[in-house]
Structures are given as C-alpha cells and as structure tokens.
Amino acid sequence: QVQLVESGGGLVQAGGSLRLSCAASGRTFSRHVMGWFRQASGNEREFVAAIGWSGGSISYADSVKGRFNISRDNAKNTVYLQMNSLNSEDTALYYCAGREGVTATRTGYHYAYWGQGTQVTVSS
C-alpha cells in the first residue's frame, strides 16, 4: 500500500507559477510510476503528467507541455509538479497517483494509489 499526500495548491494570478508536491509513504516509492491528474468542476478527470520510476520516462498532456515540469526525488519519496504560465483553464483539483511499474502511464485506471487532491485556482 502507498499513501499519497499532495500539497502546494492555492490561488494564483494568471501567468503565475505554483509547485505541487506529493509525499509518498508505504511501499517502495522508487519502484512506482507517479502521475498527476486534475479534475475541474463539471469535467472528467484528465491526465496532466507522469514520470517513470527512474525519471527517464516522462509524459505530458498536450495542454501543459512546455509549461509544466514533473520531477521526482526518490530519496525524499516525493514527486513534484512545477506549473508555470498558469491560466484559468488550469483551475482544478490536482491529484497525485501511483502505480508499480517503469514507464510513465497516461491512463488513470492503471493507477492503484491516489491522494486526496490539492486545489489550484487561477484568477484572471
């Protein structure tokens, strides 16, 4: 079992930046693919970014490519999502997710572990 706790969300003006963190505890974090997903009010959950266990496999949604950066520190059991050039369409509840494996995965149902989410609100 892996427990995930997100932090770093908040209110930011359009064009600003935030860094989300996801702290993991439980089973071996370094053997897990980690992903970020988001769900805006009234919308379905969507993929944002994912990173393989070694950091060598990374995938981004087209909507965030070039603006967001996912990284991980296996020594700290933490995965990060640096979000730059935020706009109102990035407003959502952001979830951290994990699954055993090597390669970054974009599909939500492949992930076994989920955090409670952290709210990101971008004001225009």
Query: Which residues 6+ apart lie within 8 Å of 32 measured at CB?
Result: 2, 24, 53, 98, 99, 100, 101, 113
- Distance between alpha carbon 50 and the CA centroid of its chain, in Å? 7
Q: pLDDT for 76-96, tens place per residue?
A: 999 999 999 999 999 999 999
- Tell me the per-residue pLDDT of 34-78, one tens digit each, with 9 for 90 and over: 999 999 999 999 999 999 988 889 999 999 999 999 999 999 999
* Predicted pLDDT at 55: 87
